[in-house]
Amino acid sequence: MITAFEKFLLGVLIALAAFGLGYLKGKSASAQADAEKRITALTTANQQLDTDLRNARDAAAQSIATQTALKANYDALNQTLQDLRKRAPLVLRSPACTVAQRSADKPADGPPQGRIELPAAPADADAVPVLTLAAVRMWNSALAGTDLGAGACRADAAAEQADAACTQGAGLDLDDAWRNHAVNAQSCAVDRARHQDLIDFLKKREGQRP
């Protein structure tokens, strides 16, 4: 016959067993929830990585396409300007050269940054050598990436008239060209610094990504 003490002890054991089973079940559920959270986090991270890789590939392809088009454009422009260079000198050493007036062919939205502007009046006749309109056209076209006319020295003029105009003095000397070069060089240096800052920022942000 089971005594009262044995019944009490049996009840305690049953209670402990039930508690243990409940604890293990709860722990198992918690572990499963943690595992599901980790799986969800990994899935999200992988999806983000796939998106980043696709964006990187698209950006790289776009960059290559842009650079290819830019190179083709500059190759064609360079050929045009080299042909012009063969037909017209860049400087005139004669102090009595003809000086062209400021052109009225500026685009409606203003000249590109860094472009040399023709003077409104003739420069000092003693300033030699003087840049020709061909030199100014080549300079400004190289900066803009498109063929920009200088006075009557322009692509859409009749060939003989354009060639004659391109040999005229522009009223600018080498000092004017050097000052313009210094301004353009400073602008390029600022752009390079900003570009490098952007690269450094993106690299830092990429390194901080979990």
Q: What is the pLDDT of residues 165-207, one digit of tens each?
A: 899 999 898 889 899 999 989 998 999 999 999 888 888 877 7
Q: Residue 134 — very low, low, confident or very high, per pLDDT cuts 50/70/90?
A: very high
Report pTM: 0.59
Gap between the Cα atoms of 179 and 84, Å rounded:
24
Q: 């690299």: which residue's tokens?
A: 203
The reply to whether omega before 119 is within 30° of 0 (cis) is no
Characterise 173 by phi-psi region: left (phi > 0), alpha (psi -120 to 50), beta (else): beta
Gap between the Cα atoms of 107 and 49, Å rounded:
46
Residues in the chain: 210
